[in-house]
Chain A
Amino acid sequence: MTKILSYLRDLRHGRTVVIGVPYLWFALLIAVPVLIVLKISLSEMETTSISSMISWADGWPTLKLNFSSYLFISGDTLYVQTYLSSIEYALITTIICLAIGYPFAYFMARSPKHLQPMLLMLIMLPFWTSFLLRIYAWKTLLVSNGAINNVLLALGIIHEPLAMMNNSFSLLVGMVYSYLPFMILPLYANLSKLDLRYLEAAADLGTSPFKAFWLITVPLSKAGIIAGSMLVFIPAVGEYVIPELLGGPNTLMIGRVLWDEFFSNNDWPMASSVAVVMILLILLPMALFNKYQSEQAEGKA
């Protein structure tokens, strides 16, 4: 009894609570659910419990695993194609975000110091207002009788409405639009800390500004580039809402397939297998992102 009491007293003072509380919280809501998804993906029915997966043969327990949904995914060209096209869309989105966001973050970091907080807030503000509503807004802009087509027609630039909706164009516009702030913020955080004396030194030594940019600024902002790209690429692979609202029948995205397997077909093992394969695909980028995060924490980057 006294032991328990003294243990509880220690708890009150200590690091056990500070570490234990978040540990339990995340273990319960991240680690356990992922393990359950893994388990269900290997079973035939969603009701299968661990005990029924273990059978007794010759007095030894053997684990009965069911790889049928994985075999189905790898054998079905539509699934393979969907995974590939999700990665392709996510990759294109990341590249466009980087191409737009890097110069932007660079110019923002070079703009007058007193303006920077306001410029930053203007980037954050759309991020605070509903993501869903902003995607819906693009729908009203891009449809054939939408605002963009109407303006272009009225100006006489085009004579027929452009087909900008329910295809890869609208999908990419929506993805770039939603994820651009996630690229700009880490890049800006990184570029605004850049020591300008390096560039001055390079200029003094006769390096052209363009060369100095490639040899000094870009390598020094590597951490920001990686963080931004991962923050865009990883969620973009599994994006569901944007392809559902702005994509078309030909824009295959794996997030949509998972949703349909779950909600329309009620096939939980299949949905879980789709999820597990998706996790495997983003594992490497995630590890990269985590490594960068912890390096930031140690102050190395």
Chain B
Amino acid sequence: MNKIFSKSWMIAVYVFLYMPIITLVVFSFNDSQLVTVWSHASIRWYHVLVHDRELISAVALSLRIAFLSALLSVFFGTFTAFALNRYKRFRGRTLLSSMASTPLVMPDVIVGLSLLLMLVSMQQWWGFPERGLLTILLGHALLGTAYATVVVTSRLREMDGKLDEAAMDLGCQPFQVFKLVTLPLLAPALVSAFLLTFTLSFDDVVLSSFLSGPGYSTLPMVVFSRARLGLNPTINAVATVTITVVSIAVIVSSFYQSRAERKRKLEVAQAYSDSNQ
């Protein structure tokens, strides 16, 4: 009885989570102009999609911003995670950790508005930066840094400092320790942080809307402006393409990571048994 209840509860939640995604995908292959009424299967909307100049250029812009934002996020997120985990006591530590977790929960509209007002003030003083790619990138990188910090931090906590200490005892300079020991151990977390912050940037509509300038529309901005006007089958096609690419990327990367993890554990076990002989 208990088992049946728990299983059906879990299945119900998964249905709730996946039903909208599945309908989106199914109806993207619907020939009808009406998104909600099935006529017959076709790839009509994919034809429309590839000839849609506005959408294609929005995808190109979004990909560029997402790539750069993920790089910046991983860079600053790693710094933040190190500062907070390796130095337990320094003046202003609480302030840094609160600032780093603020973008995780702060409503997007506030982050967007405050960043824009700061950038406008900067522009009044120095005539820089123009609203466009760079300003959107800063917003996304801020959001991404907060998430990357969480991902890298959880990995840093799993790693004990013993390997670093061992390397230092053997005469490594701090930077060498970082390059030869810490970084390789951290690599899987950096990859997942990159993927996560990439998708966050690729997904964002609120920050982009505040921070973009004329001529800079990201994919979510175009989708949002169309979805506001009503239902539109091309959005279903966009959704299907995005969902397919993301699902493949997530599944492949998690497969690789679990394999790398198993290999690493095996090597550690091997090393221990070798040293005990």
Q: Is the CB of B107 within 8 A of A32?
A: no
Evaluate whether A29 and B115 lie within 8 angstroms (CB atoms) in the complex, with A231-B104, A239-B107 already known: yes
CB-CB under 8 A from A290, the residues of chain B are 97-98, 101
CB distance from B273 to the nearest CB of A (A): 25
CB-CB under 8 A from B209, the residues of chain A are 263
Evaluate whether A129 and B114 lie within 8 angstroms (CB atoms) in the complex, with A26-B96, A36-B121, A107-B10 already known: no
Among the interface residues B17, B37, B124, B250, which one has the most CB atoms of the partner chain A within 10 A?
B17
CB-CB under 8 A from B270, the residues of chain A are none
Query: CB-CB contacts of B228-239 with A at 8 A, as 1s and 0s?
Result: 100100011011
Q: Is the CB of A25 within 8 A of B113?
A: no
Does chain A have a CB within 8 A of B126? no
Interface-side segment among A71-79, A141-149, A195-203: A141-149
Does chain B have a CB within 8 A of A240? yes
Set B13, B105, B108, B202: member contacting A100, Cβ < 8 A:
B13
How far does the alpha carbon of A117 sit from the alpha carbon of B261 in the complex, in Å? 14
Q: How many A-B residue pairs have CB under 8 A?
A: 239
How far does the alpha carbon of A150 sit from the alpha carbon of B80 in the complex, in Å? 51
What bracket does the count of chain A residues touching chain B fall in? Answer: 35 or more
Set B18, B85, B96, B117: member contacting A268, Cβ < 8 A:
B117
How far does the alpha carbon of A229 sit from the alpha carbon of B23 in the complex, in Å? 29
Closest B residue to A244 using CB positions: B228
How far does the alpha carbon of A2 sit from the alpha carbon of B140 in the complex, in Å? 40
Main secondary structure of the interface of B (DSSP, over half): helix
CB-CB under 8 A from B145, the residues of chain A are 22, 25-26
Evaluate whether A19 and B109 lie within 8 angstroms (CB atoms) in the complex, with A32-B118, A133-B235 already known: no
The count of chain B contact residues (Cβ–Cβ below 8 Å) is: 86
Interface-side segment among B50-58, B162-170, B219-227: B219-227
Query: CB-CB contacts of A21-50 with B at 8 A, as 1s and 0s?
Result: 111011101111110110010000011010
CB-CB under 8 A from B83, the residues of chain A are 15, 18-19, 21-23
Set B18, B102, B203, B254: member contacting A121, Cβ < 8 A:
B254
Task: Please provide the chain B residues from 48 to 75 with a CB less than 8 Å away from any CB of chain A in the complex.
Answer: none
Q: Is the CB of A134 within 8 A of B107?
A: no
Does chain A have a CB within 8 A of B138? yes
